[in-house]
Structure 1
Amino acid sequence: MTGNSSIPKLDNATLSLFKNTNTSIAISVIYMFVTAINLVGNGLSMWILIFRTSPKTASIIFMINLTFTDLALGIALPFQIAYQLQGYNWRLGPKMCSSLTLIFYTNMYCSILTMMAIGIDRYLGIVRPMLFRQIRKKKSMAVIGCLLMWGLVLCVLYPLMTTDLTFEFPELGITTCFDMLKKDMLPSTAAWAAFLFSMVFILFLFPFCVTTFCYVSVIRKLAKDFKTAQKDRAIRLAVIVLLVFTLCFAPNNILLLTHSVLRLFYKKSVYMAYKLSLCFSCLNSCIDPFIYYFASKDFRQKLRQIMNLHSLSSGDSMKMEHKESMYSAHCTFEGQERQHSKVYLMPGTSQRRESETT
């Protein structure tokens, strides 16, 4: 993954990745699937959270923050798809490469921290409702929390913003984007270790432990309650969040740590496995709308209203058509009955007989 700034040196794992077209196509297909689900699901979620959900509680603000990062990833992924399909040849320049790489990793780690914040908010609301009641009511605390998340992530990922992440490899005739980093990106091996370990431990492992504690505490608290519906939703939410951590985030960060240690100290690599885990980490943006559904009662109600709107409209129109057809048949029957009664009336008695008929 790293090489000298002037003489490119690829390990066998990275070289085989660049030459393996099947892997490139498989990763591109996954990214296409994620992009489609991401833009539809999170676009609808953003519209509901901003325009249809009120009041804007702390949880809603955290969800808006999470949706924003997911949509940014959905917009950036098509560029990554084009890069993969062109044989790992980046043609959009160093600045675009740095921007899209930053979006990619910011989405992952802001998602992790935001899920932790939602878990803490639910913990305070269910396990410690009286002690932190006033804090949870302040929207400014949620906004400050989101700003602190972004600040922390950007501080850790600062080297990605200030470095040319493209790398020309003449032997294959390609220019890579973040697949091969220069050793002089950071001044020393210790700086590399601090950068990579902070990503794994500060931005993943610590939030994972906090989130697990919060949701386990919530489930234990609700297990003593008779409100089974609330308990079931809380359990489903906990399962979904932990599923996102274990299936989307954990493999990528564990492989990042493994690859970094092997590359920095043993000159070995597991880069192909890391690359595959990186594309699976994007699946979190498809699962996040389910988190909103179970975490927010207001979001559930608004989504159900939207989903039932078409069927209700169709049902109402069918009822109106049925009423109109019944009314038309009734009028036709009355007209025929009146016309039939007039046929048998004698001259001079039409007025009296007609009044009797009607």
Structure 2
Amino acid sequence: MQQDSSSTNTSLSDSPANLAASSVLGLCFALGVPGNIAVLVLLSRWLKGGSFTPKLLLSLAVSDLMALLLLPVWIYALLHDWVFGLVWCKILSYIVYWSLYCSVLSVTLLSVQRYVQVLHPQKWAKLREHGLNGLVCGIWILSGVLCCYALIQRRVKLEKDGHFRCGAHYRNISEIVATLSWETLVLFVFAFPVLVYFYVRLHRGVSQSASLNTHRMTKLVIRIVATFFIFWLPYHITNIVLIITILLGHENVLRFAEAGREITGSLVVINSCVNPFIYAFSARVLRQSTSGTDTA
């Protein structure tokens, strides 16, 4: 039995697809974890009571870090086997989903907040500090509720090649379609139009602002939103293709779409380690904003 298990693990680690995926995840971990930790240290040092944009950036960095810190577990599972049991499969999967939902909602609120604060400052001023802090807490609570299905669906399964995998387990086709539709509805149909709308309105209106630092902070937010859009859009397009192919019953296309979902899913992880580099290029703006030069 030990010999068979060793043979299975060797075949897993020798698989080109698994080696490529684990290499990408390893690079994301090596770059993203130190980068997001540096962002957390800098933002927490510069954070002041009246600065809300940095609070949202801090929330985004925490959510990114949550997903990145778990990458070694998934890398080990890719190269060897899932040996952590059912409970940890559910818990770790839930944390990943929680961080992704929180990341989406943080970026969405970031675009809305920046638009209202820059172009409608009187309306934004009506929100007190407790109300602003409530928005951040609300993002985390709502994210945890929206992704709770991961606790139910994630299972440890024995694959045809003889190794265990922590993945989604659906009871029927309807559940697959419902899950993919839910993710597409919340993370795409709702979030992306909001992002695009306020991105365009902010870009058009910010030229009327007299504050140079406001211009710079707004450009930082736009970079984050644009980067988020680039890395997330392929994932949701693949989700939509999957839903269509499942409903039409095209099995050949379905296998191709599932493989595409694995690839586009890695882009989402890459997005989590790109944000710190965007912050690094705007460190001066963040420091000025949090020190009171800008009321962001």
Give me the TM-score of the superposition, normalised by structure 2: 0.82
| Aligned partner letter, 1:175 | F
Superposed CA offset, 1:23-48 (max 9, x none): 21111111111111111111011112
* Separation in structure 1 between the aligned mates of residue 285 and residue 219 of structure 2, nearest angstrom: 18
Q: What 5-or-longer segments of structure 1 have no aligned partner? A: 1-17, 304-358
Structure 2 vs 1, CA of residues 293 and 143 (structure 1 numbering), >3 Å: closer, same or farther? Answer: farther
How far did residue 82 of structure 1 move? 0.9
Equivalent residue, structure 2, for 1:141: 131
Q: Is the 8 A contact 2:51 2:289 kept in 1?
A: no
Superposed CA offset, 1:69-103 (max 9, x none): 111112101111111122xx211111111222222
Counterpart among 224, 236, 242 of residue 259 in structure 1: 242
Q: Is the 8 A contact 2:46 2:287 kept in 1?
A: no
Equivalent residue, structure 2, for 1:47: 41
Q: Is the 8 A contact 1:153 1:203 kept in 2?
A: no
How far did residue 230 of structure 1 move? 4.2
Which deviates more from structure 2 when the two are superposed, residues 138-147 or residues 95-104? 138-147
How far did residue 192 of structure 1 move? 3.7
* Separation in structure 2 between the aligned mates of residue 261 and residue 158 of structure 1, nearest angstrom: 25
Counting only pairs closer than 5 Å after superposition, residues 140-289 of structure 1 correspond to structure 2 as 140-169=130-159, 171-178=160-167, 181-184=168-171, 189-225=173-209, 230-231=214-215, 234-235=218-219, 237-246=221-230, 248-263=231-246, 265-266=248-249, 267=251, 268-269=254-255, 270-289=257-276
Equivalent residue, structure 2, for 1:329: none
How far did residue 251 of structure 1 move? 0.8
Q: Is the 8 A contact 1:59 1:118 kept in 2?
A: yes
SS in 2 for 1:177: strand
* Separation in structure 2 between the aligned mates of residue 102 and residue 264 of structure 1, nearest angstrom: 27
Q: Is the 8 A contact 2:220 2:282 kept in 1?
A: no
Q: Is the 8 A contact 1:48 1:299 kept in 2?
A: no
Pick the structure with greater CA Rg: 1
Counterpart among 294, 299, 306 of residue 286 in structure 2: 299
* Separation in structure 2 between the aligned mates of residue 229 and residue 54 of structure 1, nearest angstrom: 17
| Aligned partner letter, 2:35 | G
Give me the TM-score of the superposition, normalised by structure 1: 0.69
Q: What 5-or-longer segments of structure 2 have no aligned partner? A: 1-11, 291-296
Q: Which has the higher contact order (CA 8 A, sep 6+)?
A: 2
Q: Is the 8 A contact 1:61 1:142 kept in 2?
A: no
* Separation in structure 2 between the aligned mates of residue 44 and residue 133 of structure 1, nearest angstrom: 30
Structure 2 vs 1, CA of residues 124 and 58 (structure 1 numbering), >3 Å: closer, same or farther? Answer: same
Equivalent residue, structure 2, for 1:33: 27
Structure 2 vs 1, CA of residues 140 and 229 (structure 1 numbering), >3 Å: closer, same or farther? Answer: closer
Q: Is the 8 A contact 1:237 1:291 kept in 2?
A: no
* Separation in structure 1 between the aligned mates of residue 124 and residue 154 of structure 2, nearest angstrom: 45
Identity of aligned residues (%): 20
Q: Is the 8 A contact 2:238 2:260 kept in 1?
A: yes
Q: Is the 8 A contact 1:53 1:298 kept in 2?
A: no
SS in 1 for 2:158: strand
Q: Is the 8 A contact 2:110 2:221 kept in 1?
A: no
Superposed CA offset, 1:267-293 (max 9, x none): 423111110111111112122235546
* Separation in structure 1 between the aligned mates of residue 135 and residue 270 of structure 2, nearest angstrom: 24
Structure 2 vs 1, CA of residues 301 and 22 (structure 1 numbering), >3 Å: closer, same or farther? Answer: farther
Q: Is the 8 A contact 1:97 1:165 kept in 2?
A: yes
* Separation in structure 1 between the aligned mates of residue 108 and residue 154 of structure 2, nearest angstrom: 32
Counterpart among 80, 83, 96 of residue 74 in structure 2: 80
Counterpart among 118, 123, 136 of residue 126 in structure 1: 118
| Aligned partner letter, 2:244 | V
Work out the number of aligned pairs and report it: 275
Kindly report the root-mean-square deviation, in angstroms, between the aligned alpha carbons of the 2 structures: 2.8
Equivalent residue, structure 2, for 1:320: none
* Separation in structure 1 between the aligned mates of residue 96 and residue 85 of structure 2, nearest angstrom: 17
Which deviates more from structure 2 when the two are superposed, residues 142-151 or residues 222-231? 222-231
| Aligned partner letter, 2:164 | T
How far did residue 150 of structure 1 move? 2.8
SS in 1 for 2:121: coil
How far did residue 130 of structure 1 move? 1.5
Structure 2 vs 1, CA of residues 296 and 134 (structure 1 numbering), >3 Å: closer, same or farther? Answer: farther
* Separation in structure 1 between the aligned mates of residue 285 and residue 220 of structure 2, nearest angstrom: 17
Counterpart among 34, 50, 67 of residue 61 in structure 2: 67
How far did residue 20 of structure 1 move? 8.5
